[in-house]
Amino acid sequence: MNHPDVNRLSIQNEFSTLKQVIIGQGAPYLRDKEKVAAELQEFPLIPNTAWKEQVLALTYPTEEQLIGEYAAFIAVLEKHGVEVLLADTTAAYSFDYTCPRDIGFVIRDTFFIANMAVHSRADEIKTVLAHLKNIDPQKIIRPPAGAIIEGGDVIVLDAQTVLVGIHQRTNQKGFEFLRDFYAGKGVDIVPVYHSQLHLDCCLNPLGMGHMLIHPNSLAGNSDETWRVLKQADWIEVDDVEREHLATNLLSINRSTLIARQSFSSARVNGILTELGYTVEEVVFDGVPATGGSFRCASLVLCRVKGELDG
C-alpha cells in the first residue's frame, strides 16, 4: 500500500472501475492547535450539524476516531481490488491530511496541481509527489497564478464533458484556465455556479445514468448548464441530506458505491439500493463534520472500464 508503481493516469468519468487512489489520513490531525486557530479564517464552510460548535472549537473529530474511520474506508476499497496509496504527511504542513481531493485532480491522462484558495494548504501537494514520479512531466500541469481551482470543484461527466464548480474555492480564472487548456481538444468545460464548499458537496454523477443533486445549491446557472445536468436522471437530496454530504460518495464501479452509514444518508442509500446499486456503507462521521466526505477524501488517479461497467 505504501510502495506504489504509478505509471498511468486515466479518468474518463466518475464511475468506471476504480483502480488507484490516494486516500486521506486521520493522523496527524490538528496537532498544532494554536497554529490552526490563527488560520481559522481559512477553514472551510463548516456544516451546520450537531457537531459544528465542537468542530469550530477544534475538539471534534478526534484523531483516534479519524484513524478508525479511514481504516474502515481503506478496507472496503482493498476488498474491491483498489490500489490504495497514502500521502507522506511529513513532506508538508497542513491543517490536516483528510481531503487530498482538494490538492489535485486528473482529467483523461493529465494531472492538474490545484492552486489552493486556502493558502496554508498550498504546499500540501508535496505530500503526494512521490506517487507521481513515474508520470511524464508534461502530463503534470499547474494553473497560472490567480487561476484558483480545487479538485472538489472538478467533476468529469464523461470523456467529452467536465463540470467546473465556481464559488469560494474555484474562481472564474480557474474555470477559464481549464476551458482554454482543453480548447480544440474535444473536451467541453462547463461552468457550474454553486453555493457550497465544493461542487461535489451538492452534485455527483453515478454510473447507471443517475445524478445525486441538490438543485437549491445551483441557483443562477445558465440554460446551457442546466441542459447538461438534466441529461442525467436526478436523485434530489434535501437540505439536511446535503448538509450531511449525502451526495459526496465514491463510486468503485458503475454499480458499486461507498456511502455513509448514517441516519442522514439512509433515505438516499435506500433509493440507490432500489435502483440496483450496491451500497457499501461505512461509518464516516468525522470528516463530514468538517465539510468533506468520501469523494473529498480520495484523489483518484486511475479508473478503467471493467466487466462491471458494461
Task: Tell me the pLDDT tens digit for each residue of 189-210.
Answer: 999 999 999 999 999 999 999 9
> Is residue 310 in some structural domain?
no
* 103, pLDDT greater than 50: yes
Residue range(s) defining the domain that contains residue 268: 17-304
> Is residue 1 in some structural domain?
no
Q: What is the CATH number of the domain that holds 195?
A: 3.75.10.10
> Is residue 11 in some structural domain?
no
Q: Is the pTM of this model over 0.85?
A: yes
Contacts of residue 284, defined as CB under 8 A and 6 or more positions apart, other chains included, come to: 69, 72, 73, 260, 261, 262, 293, 294
> Is residue 10 in some structural domain?
no
DSSP 69-133: HHHHHHHHHHHTTPEEEE--TTSS--S-BS-GGGGEEEEBTEEEE-B-SSGGGGGGGGGTGGGGT
> Is residue 3 in some structural domain?
no
> Is residue 159 in some structural domain?
yes
> Is residue 195 in some structural domain?
yes
* 310, pLDDT greater than 70: no
* pLDDT bracket for residue 40 (50, 70, 90): confident
Q: For the segment 255-294, what is each residue's pLDDT rounded down to a tens digit?
A: 999 999 999 999 999 999 999 999 999 999 999 999 999 9
Nearest by Cα to 288 from 256, 251, 250, 243: 243
Distance of CA 254 to the CA centre of its chain: 17
209-to-234, 276, 305 alpha-carbon distances in Å: 9, 12, 16
* 309, pLDDT greater than 80: no
CB 253 within 8 A of CB 277: no
* pLDDT bracket for residue 4 (50, 70, 90): very low
> Is residue 229 in some structural domain?
yes
The number of folded domains in the chain is: 1
